[in-house]
Structures are given as structure tokens and as C-alpha cells.
Structure 1
Amino acid sequence: MKKDKITFQKGLYNLNEEDNFNFQLNRVVMWNDGDLEDIKKIANKIKDSTTWKEELIEIGNQAVNQGRIKEAIAYYRMSEFFMYDGDPDKVKYYKLATDMFYDYYKEYFEDGTVIQYEVPYEGVKLPVLYTKAVGEKKDTILLHGGNDSYMEELFFPMLYFAEKGFDVYLFEGPGQGGVMRTQGKHFTYKWEKPVTTVLDYLGIGDITIIGASLGGMLAPRAAAYEKRIKRVIAWSIFPNFFLVALGTVPYLLKKLVKMLMNFGVAPILNLIFNMEAKKDPTVDWAIKHGMYAYNAKSPYEYLVKLNQFQIMDVGHLIDQDVLVLGANQDHFINYKLFKEELDSLSNVRSLTFRLFTEKESASNHCNMGNTKLTLDTMINWIKMTKESAKEFV
């Protein structure tokens, strides 16, 4: 392949009547370089996790046969998204897409534009991609995803940051990408542990950390304990995973779940969530993926673990500059949770909150639909914050 100028598509499409399938189909196009016309042909055929898998693999095979490798990578990668633990195709298609990705984009690695590292961590290796700032270096960024991320999705945002003058280290931690899928390392809420290990191994400091989606909770959590982090960008409102998970649940059901959690009534909670999973594909996926990635044996155990993934209990320890990015039509996260998050950040050096809207084509989760605007907002905030720090000194 030839290196192309980095561009990002703008806009969101109504592709499927179920919110999460619709979002993920947009993700195939916006973040994974899939072809919109390919996706339109299959979008209405997707009704559940089985048809998602079948349709994405089918158009992946078609793209390979037509020599459209970039598109095939997108379809194979996302085909495993709704596959559950125990499905042998989950690892198969993850590895296929990943191998194809590094072969297709090998030019970036062969000419040294991107350098790969493997950082030893608790019996596994955390993959890191590094790209050097073009021109005068403005800052160093440590970038990572969240609950269901693939490092390769952030490859071009990484390169875009470098074009704008930033050294960037992009990494996967426990529970993410291949660290979970092929190495079997489950999530930890103590995100400072992998972050500190990466910083030590690479010998870097005075950094801006950016975490997307659940990374919007993980990155601030790391900053609470790792003071080589000087600036924090939470690329999603995410004060507490348990609150986020209940954020779109009907009011009475939410009250019932909280009460049952307080009393530790596991059997009834398991029954409720298993019943909800049968009615709602998003709930079904969230529970099964969560039990897989968080090494939980039941929905109840998963919810208990989710409550550990929060910044509200450590917010007072975060004393860096912080930017929180939200979206006013996020189907995963009720944006009104921003109050709980901002209130917990009582000792930060500075705090900026930016809520994106549908008028900016950035109102969905992680501002899907206008990646360029989102990245430019981060870049401008970093520059402004560093300038402000100089003036303060």
C-alpha cells in the first residue's frame, strides 16, 4: 500500500434500528476504514450476534476476493466484536485481521515511521506502537483505548497527532485487544500498574495521557498515582462503570438493581440480567463480553467488579490538568453523569469539560462522526495548557 494523507470521515448514518448495532456499523466505516456501500448492503440483515458475525465475515471474504484488503481488515476485525468467549472464530478472526493489518501497512514499519515495542508485564507482553513528532516536538502522548478497543483502530489518530508535532506511544493494556484475546490477561482497574510499567520501560515522563471510552476512567485513575502524567484527557465521561452500566436502565429497574447489590442478592440479580439479555442485544453483549474480559463467572460478579472501575474514589488524588470530553447523544453513557465526575475532581490544577453535539456530527460515543474535530480539540487544549503552565511558573 502507499502511505496516504491522513483524513477522517465526517457524519453518522442510520444503518440499523438497534442502537448498538448501528453504532458499531458506523464504527466499521469511521474508525476501521470499511466501505459505506458494503455496510449498507448488510446492515438490515443484522438482527443478533450470529447474523453480525455471518454478515461481516461474508463481506470480508468478498473484499479479499476483490483485492480490497483494507476493507477486508475492517470487516474481519469487527466480525469478532459480538462473538462470545468460547467461540473458536473469535481468536481466529482477530488474529487474521491483525496479521493482515500489519502486512498491509508494513511500509510504516519498514521505513521507521512507526516502531513496535513489547513491554513485559505480569507474565504477558503489552504491545506499544511509537511514532515520532513531525517537526518541533510539542509534547509526548500516551494513548490507549477502553473496554472493547483494538489498538489498530487508533493507528491513524496516532499518526495524526505525530503530524501535528507530538511524540505518541499507543499501547494495549490488560483486558484489551490481543492482550486479552491471545494472551488471556484480564482487565485491572488499577490502570496505574500497566501505565507505570510502560513509562519505566520506555523511559518517558512529562506526558499527556489520553484514554478513550472506558479509557476515560482508566487514564485519570492512572494519573491519580503516576505523577509523570502531567495532563489527562478523558475521551468520554466515565466516573464509575457501575453507574455507566445503569445509566440507560429504566428508573425503577435501576433502583431495584442498586438495592439488590447493596444486599448482595446474587441469584435474583443474575435472573434479572439474564432475562434482560434475552430481550436486548446490547445487554446480552455487554454481560457476556464483560464476564469474558473481566474474568467474572456471573452477571452479579461482573457488576461487583464494575464498581471497582471508577475515579470517584480517587478523584481527590488527581492534581494534574484534566480535559473531559462528552457527547450529548451517547447511547452507552448518560452524559448527565458529568456532574458526578467533575465533582470528584476537587484538586486538579485545571479542569475543562467539552460536550459535543449532533450539530458537530460528534454527539455519539467517543464523538464518533467527527474524529478530526475531537483530535483537534485535544491538540488545542494541550497547547493551551502547556502555555498556561509556563506563564504560571
Structure 2
Amino acid sequence: MPQPVTPLPDHGLSRFFRNQTFHFQTLRTLNHIAAGGADLNEVLMAISLIADGDSNGWYTQFSALATRTEDRIPHCADPLSRGHAWLRAHNYWRTAEFLLSPHDPRRQTAWTRQVAAFDNGVRLSAITYERFTVPYENGQLRGIVYPGPAGWQARPLIVLGGGYDSTLEELYFVLVKAAHDRGYGVLTYEGPGQGEALRQYGLPFTPQWEKPTAAVLDHFQANWFTPRRTVLVGMSMGGYLAPRVAAFDGRIDGVVAYDVFFDMGSVAQRYAAVARDPDAMKNPDVAWALDNALWTLGVSTLEQVLDALKAYTLAGVAEKITADVLTLVGERDHFIPASQADDFARACTHARSVETVMFDVLSGGAEHCQLGAPTLWHAAFFDWMVRKFG
């Protein structure tokens, strides 16, 4: 008997899930296609088996996809195809663990496998890179230097840091390949509250982001060279962290808030109003945001989260920035009100220049950090690089 055909909607769809976190994290996984970190239909097949809002099902399907991707590698004779498969497996393991509780033992399994897959992937894909570690407080920070093509030392060094939920390896897909294609080298790093610094050493976030960044930049200059120009890009929460660095470290010639995060405390208050509802933790959006805050800030209660995040504001800080400033804004950003871009621009009273780029809904870049449309923000960023730094 032929199977009944499910009626299709009259129009195409612009969302993968009704739940915003599930939709957004799907976009995040697909965002890395351009840099070899995903395949469209692999992801679509995985999410077709996930019930909207089922965090456990999310892990089950994406870990299964990562495993299937890895299982095919030994049967592939071409080294580059094997490398690309490892890079996709890395992204699928990263995606799988994302919605798990910080204390779920499956997180450690996924973490170990995603890092190993990444190293296999860049090695077999002939991507030049060098890992390093820097002592910091009672632990250490990881970084990766990706040299550019010939002559990259004469161009500005791009330094890329993540945010509230970033991993060091994911940063390759965010910007490194696009930068290398244009002749730039990139230094990526993680600070306290991120990646291994959090998982292995228990280092929580600090609002004084200039301190871990200085340790990383000092190490780079001691072991590689002193760049003629340094451009710091901060992703997501990095839209607070990177401008904070630029305010206190004179080595930063240009800073990019991708996207801007002028006042994290006010955003947290908005979430808290919802989180205090006893039924709120049934919503993956709220449950994930609170669990991650407790983990990365090293606190135990919602009220402690709110108190800690009061310090994460650029008010009274942005006026100290003397570098060129680029701010990116998504019209449909579900984390950060677009008005914070205006607050930031007004506060940058001593910056050499201030530019803001708004991505509207029809452009495809309206989501937080323009996920799903990396070529749009890359175009805006590299155009700014050419105009400001030659």
C-alpha cells in the first residue's frame, strides 16, 4: 500500500522548529557549511527525528549523526574527504552536547570526541594551525593560531573570541577560513567561563576580560611576532567582552562587536522575570539559559546570576575605547535588544570611528550573530577591514 502523502504548506518555511532555541541551534549547525563543518541534508535528516523541545532527543539524534559520520571515514580513501568528514563530526558532537545539563556525563563524552574530531579534521584537510596554552590563575587558557597565506604578517592580525557558550574549535568555522581566503591570519582563544578553562579548571567568567586577553596576546607576541595592527572580534557575549578589552588594552586597533552586548544585566533581568515562573524550566529556552549561567558564572542561584551580571556593562567603559569600532546588529536578535547598539554607539565618545551595520529580516541576517547568513556579516566585516586598515 502506498504511504499517505503529508500535505505541504502553501509556502516554504523559514523556521526549523517553533521553539526558538531549537531553531537557532539548527541555524548554528548549518552556519558552518561554508567552512566545511556541516552538510545540509545530514542536518535536516537528524532534526526530522527530533520532537520540538525534546533536549534528550536532540542529543540522541545529533550524537547518532556524529557517530554515523565518523563510522564512514575508515571506508574513504581520499584524505581530504576524510578530513571534511571529521570536521562535520566535530560540529555534530558540539551540537549534540549543547542542550544537556552541565552535569550530564554525556557532555564529557561529546566534548572529548568533538575536540579529537576537530584535530583529525584540520590535519587531514591540510589546514595549518598551532595550538598553545597560557597559564592563567589556577588553570590555563587554550588558543589556536591559524597563519594566513604568504605575507599575512604584514596584514592586520585578526583575534577572535567567543561568548556565553562558545568553544575554541568552533571559532574556526565562524571566521578563520573566510579570513584565510582573504589573506589574513587569525588568533583564536578561549577565556575563563569557556571551553576547557571552564570544564577542566572550573574558571568562571570575569567581567575584566582584558586580563585573560592580555595573557593570550602577550604569549602570541613572545612566541610569534608583534602585529602592526590588531583587530579584535567578539562573538555574542563577546560583544561585551571585546569592547571591554579595547577600552583597557592599547594594542587593539579595531574592535568588532558581533553582535553588540552593551548591558548584559538588563537582558538577564528580562529572562529572570520569566524564569521565576515555576513552570518556566519546562521551556528549553529558559532552562538552558539559566543552567548555562549557573555553570559559567560559578554561582548557585538565579539571584546570584543577576547580581554577577550587573558588572557586565559597557556604561562608563565604552568611552575609553580609542580604536575603530564596528557594531553588527540583527533585527530579529532574540537575545539582545537592537537599542543596545545605539547605546553603545553613543557611549563610544573617544573612538577613532564608529560604524553600525543592521541586518534586516529579508536579508537573512536578522538572527543573533547573523546565524544562517555568514557571508553577509563577512562581507560587512572585510569591507570595513579594507577601508580602515588597507
- Which bracket does the TM-score occupy, shorter chain normalised? 0.7 to 0.9
Partner of 1:97: 114
Task: Answer yes or no: is 1:40 the counterpart of 2:44.
Answer: yes
By relative contact order (CA 8 Å, sep 6+), the higher-ranking structure is 1
**SS of residue in 2 equivalent to 1:41:** helix
Q: Is 1:15 matched up with 2:8? A: no
Q: CA deviation at 1:384?
A: 1.1
Q: Residue 46 of structure 1 contacts residue 55 of structure 1 at CA under 8 Å; is this kept in 2?
A: no
RMSD of aligned C-alpha atoms? 2.2
User: Do 1:139 and 1:165's aligned partners in 2 also have CA atoms closer than 8 Å?
Assistant: no
Moved over 6 A (4+): none
Q: Report the equivalent of 2:386.
A: 383
**1:115 partnered with 2:130:** yes
Matched, 1:151 2:168: yes
> What secondary structure sits across from 1:127 in the alignment?
strand
AA aligned to 1:369 is G
Among 306, 309, 320, which residue is 2:323 paired with? 320
- Give the count of matched residue pairs: 354
Q: Is the 1:220–1:234 contact (alpha carbons within 8 Å) kept by the matching residues of 2?
A: yes
Tell me by how many angstroms 1:55 deviates.
Answer: 2.1
Q: Partner letter of residue 178 of structure 1?
A: E
Q: Using the alignment, how far apart are the partners of 2:101 and 2:25 within structure 1?
A: 16
Q: Counterpart amino acid of 1:29?
A: L
Q: Deviations along 1:36-82, whole A, 9 cap, x unmatched? A: 32332343424232222222222223333333544332221111111
2:147 is matched with which residue: 108, 116, 132? 132
- CA deviations 1:5-27 (Å, max 9, x no partner) are xxxxxxx9521110111010121
The 1-side partners of 2:128 and 2:107 are apart by 30
1:290 deviation in Å?
0.6
Q: Does 1:77 align with 2:100?
A: no
Aligned to 1:285: 288
Contact 1:174/1:185, CA 8 A, preserved across alignment: yes
Q: Which amino acid aligns with 1:188?
A: T
Question: Match for residue 226 of structure 1?
Answer: 249
Q: Which of these residues, 238, 256, 259, is aligned with residue 215 of structure 1?
A: 238
Residue from 190, 200, 203 that aligns with 2:218:
200
Native 8 Å contact 1:276 1:283 kept in 2: no
Question: Which residue matches 2:79?
Answer: none
Question: How far off its partner does 1:210 sit?
Answer: 0.5
**Corresponding letter in the other structure for 1:92:** T
The answer (yes or no) to whether the contact 2:138–2:201 under 8 Å persists in 1 is no
SS across alignment from 1:217: helix
Unpaired runs of 5+ residues, structure 2, are 1-12, 74-84
Secondary structure, aligned partner of 1:152:
coil
Equivalent pair of 1:321/1:349 in contact (CA under 8 Å):
yes
Task: Extract unaligned runs of 5+ from structure 1.
Answer: 1-11, 258-268, 388-393
Secondary structure in 1 matching 2:276: helix
Q: 8 Å contact 1:276–1:284 — kept in the other structure?
A: no
